[in-house]
Amino acid sequence: MSRAYTGAVITAAFQQTVAVLRDPTVASGIGQFGAVQIVAPSLGVEFSPVDVRDAGEIERAVAAFASGVNGGLIVTGSALGIAHRNLIIALAARHKLPAIYFHGRFVVDGGLISYGPDFIDQFQ
């Protein structure tokens, strides 16, 4: 993911603070978080990694983050994110947090925006 593209993703959230939901054991999520880590300071955006491993952790982390002001979510690529996408989408809506997801399936299921590739389109 390019720095400019990552900057656009962060800027699209129009937020001062971003929580990056990630599974720290997944390489793609680590790379996506690294891109956010590089670009966010130049945009004046504070970010915090939120390592999640199950539904309970996701709920607690999003609720805790939502208690702050002017925040948004970035969900990095992982099977955990896909498995709990409806929960993550519902929590973002409940807490009125704009969220950017790594896969278009989140948008199909009601999420705000995604920044990942269309895997089916790659094989057509």
Residue whose C-alpha is closest to residue 40's, from 77, 73, 3, 2: 3
Q: What domains can be seen in the chain, in order of their start residue?
A: 3-116 (3.40.50.2300)
Which pTM was predicted?
Answer: 0.79
Q: pLDDT truncated to tens, each residue of the chain (124 aa)?
A: 455 445 545 555 556 788 888 888 877 777 787 788 888 787 788 888 888 889 999 999 999 998 876 788 888 888 888 899 999 999 999 998 888 888 788 888 888 888 766 677 777 7
DSSP 102: S
The confidence score (pLDDT) of residue 15 equals 62
Token pair belonging to 19: 């929580």
- pLDDT at residue 62, rounded to an integer: 92
Q: What is the pLDDT of residue 10?
A: 53
CB of 74 closer than 8 Å to CB of 45: no
